[in-house]
Amino acid sequence: MNLRWLGAGLGLLLGCLGFVANLRCDAQNLVPNPGFEEYDTCQADEFGVNGPISWFRTNGTPDYLQSCLPYGHFQSLPMNFFTYQEPFEGASCAGVYTYWQNGQTEYREWIMAPLLEPMVVGQTYYCSLQANAAFGGNHTYPQHWLANDKVGMRFTTTAMPTWSVNDPFPVPPNHAHILYPQILSDTVGWTLVSGSFVADSAYQYVMIGQFFSNALTDTLQFSPEGVPWYWLPRAYTLVDAVCVTTNPEGCAFGQDVGEGQAIASVLFPNPARDQVVVSQREGAEAQVMDAVGRLLWQGRITSEHWVLDVGSWARGAYVLRLEQHGRLKTHTFILVE
């Protein structure tokens, strides 16, 4: 028995008993370690070995991406083999293949975790995760050049076996309880994947990935045609901030699960031309990087209405990192003509 899961469930029970009159007990996230922050050791290994705690792989060899690893390591953040990307929140996230065009095996990578309590039949559950299309990592050519649709969540009553090398790959079930119907193509910012459903079984496990065959999957090619762009027609997706709850308002992540809620009060205008205003973040340590991770500016936010002059910068996407009170948050902004 994994005592961490037992402790997490006991904590949920005691929390609800202690606040039985408080209806916000329903807001509890049923996903353990939802941001993949808890791990045993900061060490690159197979997914689920040293972390993230409570999660395991059920198809292929997904990656546990961590900021604590050396910069540029194949599983590090923000720069790794697959992409340059800050986590949605905290210092870790998961990375999975969500489309594989070549070969007879339609390869996918799936990850799974036990819910803190079984779902109740007939109850409505509100689910969400943050996802990002990986592109432009530091791996030598060939790289991965596709994005795909139908990234999502699937629930089961029993655990799938942990996948091991030389095991057969599971056949895509062509079903997901929650999915993103469009091609998930944003390589700079995080995309909210969300939805709700009424539980028809006492589901006890959540699984994340892309669960549809190639014939039912739409893709988008990021780059121009020609060599080496066709060498690896595969899609890789980052996942963070997983939420399953009975509360329609979702889970209380630091950046919220609502798309754009955090950015609206911090960074404006967005898109911008000559100036970007950072509000309500006086004292924060800040860095601005371009879409491939080059540091363009760093310093301290010195007022509650702080202005960054960007008129001479190249038009395109940028990432603002803000560190304050021990928390790291990232925001994406776009410069236009």
Domain identity same for 58 and 195: yes
- Most trustworthy range by pLDDT among 13-17, 215-219, 328-332: 215-219
How much helix, strand and coil, in percent to the nearest 5, is found in the chain? 10, 35, 55
CATH of residue 294? 2.60.40.3080
CA torsion 204→205→210→211, rounded to 10°?
-50
Residue 225, Cβ density class (10 Å: 0-12 exposed, 13-18 middle, ≥19 buried): exposed
Question: Token pair for residue 325?
Answer: 């009170």
Total domains in the fold of the chain: 2
pTM of the predicted model as reported, rounded to 2 decimal places: 0.70
Contact 205, 158 (CB under 8 A): yes
pLDDT of 312 strictly over 80: yes
Domain identity same for 120 and 147: yes
- pLDDT more than 70, % of the chain: 82
Mean of the per-residue pLDDT values for the chain? 82
Side by side, which strands form the sheet with 275-279?
Answer: 267-268, 275-279, 305-309
CATH of residue 162? 2.60.120.260
Domain identity same for 125 and 41: yes
Domain identity same for 225 and 331: no
pLDDT of 317 strictly over 90: no
Domain of 272, in residue numbers: 262-335
| pLDDT the model gives residue 143 | 66
Domain identity same for 79 and 227: yes
Question: Token pair for residue 183?
Answer: 């091609």
Domain identity same for 272 and 229: no
Domain identity same for 308 and 161: no
The Cα angle at residue 267 between residues 261 and 273, in degrees rounded to 5: 130
CA torsion 20→26→30→32, rounded to 10°?
-60
| pLDDT the model gives residue 19 | 37
303 three-class SS: coil
Q: How much is the CA Rg of the chain, to the nearest whole Å?
A: 20
- Last residue within a domain, chosen from 258, 288, 321: 258
Domain identity same for 299 and 201: no
Domain identity same for 125 and 249: yes
C-alpha–C-alpha distance, residues 141 and 245, integer Å: 42
Query: What are the pLDDT digits (tens) for 176-212?
Result: 999 999 999 888 889 999 988 999 999 999 999 999 9
Question: Token pair for residue 52?
Answer: 């993230």
- Last residue within a domain, chosen from 258, 286, 306: 258
| pLDDT the model gives residue 252 | 57
| pLDDT the model gives residue 131 | 96
Domain identity same for 115 and 83: yes
Query: What are the pLDDT digits (tens) for 61-71?
Result: 999 999 999 98
| pLDDT the model gives residue 228 | 57
Domain identity same for 252 and 267: no
Domain identity same for 312 and 325: yes
pLDDT of 6 strictly over 50: no
Query: What are the pLDDT digits (tens) for 234-263?
Result: 899 999 999 999 988 777 554 333 333 333
The neighbouring-strand residues paired with 152 are 179, 209
| pLDDT the model gives residue 205 | 98
Question: Token pair for residue 55?
Answer: 């999660």
Contact 206, 155 (CB under 8 A): yes
- Looking up tokens 């469009």, which residue turns up? 182
- Last residue within a domain, chosen from 258, 278, 306: 258
pLDDT band at 290 (very low <50, low <70, confident <90, very high): confident
The better pLDDT of the pair 245, 223 is held by 245
